[in-house]
Structures are given as structure tokens and as C-alpha cells.
Amino acid sequence: MQDNANLLRPLLLRLVDSLLRQRALQLLHQMLQLSYRPCVISYSSAISSCTDSVQWSQALHLLQQAASSSLRLDVFTYNATITACEKASLWSQALLLLTEIEVTRLEADSISFTAAMASCKAAGRWQPTLLLLAEVRKRGLKVDVTMQGLVLSACEKVHKHLLARQVLALVENTMLRSLKRHGRS
């Protein structure tokens, strides 16, 4: 009996997650129909619920709708939209959104870059993935294990194994030098 419960648990969790996502979108639409002015958090929540690959256009529409309603968008709203683009392998749209973050005088964070890198990797675009990694390093943001894995996967996806190892060796050397400078070796 316990084995059956363990088998059903992931299915139930996905079902609950799916229902909650649908409910977030419904609530935003109800707010708009009732002439309530949703806040940035309402839009961010609804956009976050569009992480299925089939809902990327809904996420982009909601971002555009929020921007046109004269709300001051935040980096969280953009990150959620970039993540929706990632799920649909829309790497060029993810990069446009990353640029838009800067144009709106917000500052892209590690999550922004990780989501954009994941989008490039999903589409098999290893060159932009490497350029994003370089930009992360240039900005002094932390290059974490997720970013390293994305670079490795993007390069390996197109059989650039040697390049992947070289890039990761460079990142590791930079991290080691940084640790030594700060007395943590």
C-alpha cells in the first residue's frame, strides 16, 4: 500500500501545482474584469504560472500588459518571463528581455542570466550561452554550479566537449584566485 502512495505522490503534486497555476491566471483575469488595478506582484505571479512551454505567449502578453498599465516592473517580473521563454526554447526572446531589463534601468541579477542561459542551452545555442557567462563574470556576479552546468550542457549538446572543459577550467581558475585573494583557500 505504501509503494502505491509513493508512486502517486509526484502525480498529485504536479496536479496541485497545475491547478494553482491556473488559479493564479484566473485571479488576474478576474481582477481586470472587475476593474481592479493589479500590482506588479499580481502580474509576476500570473507570469510565473506560465512556465509550461505552451504558455510562453501568455507570459509575454502579460508582461506587455503590465508594462502598458504604467506599472513599474521589477526584475522578478522579467525573470519569470525569461523563464517562460526558456521552457519554449525561445532564446532570442529571452535575450531581448534580458536587454530590456537594462533599458528599463533595472539591474539583471544571477537569476536573469541563469534563465537566459538556460533558454539558449535549450535551443542548442552555445555561443550566446558563453557570451552570457562572460557577461556574468564581467559584472562581478557569482558564477554558480547551475551556470557552469548550463555552459557544459550547451557545449556538449553541439559536441563542443573540449571547449566546454576549457571554459569550465577558466571559471574554476578564476574562482580559485578569488578565494585565495579573500583568504579562503
40 neighbors 77 (Cβ within 8 angstroms): yes
147 shares a domain with 72:
no
**Termini Cα distance of the chain:** 51
Last residue of a domain, one of 109, 142, 169: 109
29 neighbors 50 (Cβ within 8 angstroms): no
> Does 156 fall in a domain?
yes
> Does 70 fall in a domain?
yes
97 shares a domain with 31:
yes
> Does 137 fall in a domain?
yes
> Does 116 fall in a domain?
no
148 shares a domain with 95:
no
> Does 17 fall in a domain?
yes
132 shares a domain with 101:
no
CA distances from 140 to 109, 110, 129, 143, 149 (A): 10, 10, 17, 9, 19
Query: What is the mean pLDDT, run by run of 10 residues, along the chain of 185 residues?
Result: 56 57 74 82 84 80 90 93 90 96 94 95 90 92 88 80 75 66 62
Last residue of a domain, one of 109, 134, 162: 109
50 shares a domain with 133:
no
155 shares a domain with 94:
no
> Which residues, 6+ apart, have CB-to-CB distance to 127 below 8 Å?
none
136 shares a domain with 88:
no
The domain of 182 spans 124-185
Last residue of a domain, one of 63, 80, 109: 109
Give the other-Cβ count within 10 Å of 107's Cβ. Answer: 10
> Does 118 fall in a domain?
no
Amino acid identity, position 41:
I
64 shares a domain with 24:
yes
> Does 21 fall in a domain?
yes
Distance CA 143, CA 55 (A): 29
44 shares a domain with 133:
no
Predicted pLDDT of residue 78: 96
159 shares a domain with 86:
no
Distance CA 56, CA 33 (A): 22
> Does 117 fall in a domain?
no
80 shares a domain with 17:
yes
103 shares a domain with 37:
yes
Q: Is the dihedral of CA 66, 72, 78, 79 positive or negative?
A: negative
The three grid cell numbers given for residue 164, joined into one nine-digit string = 566546454
Number of structural domains found in the chain: 2
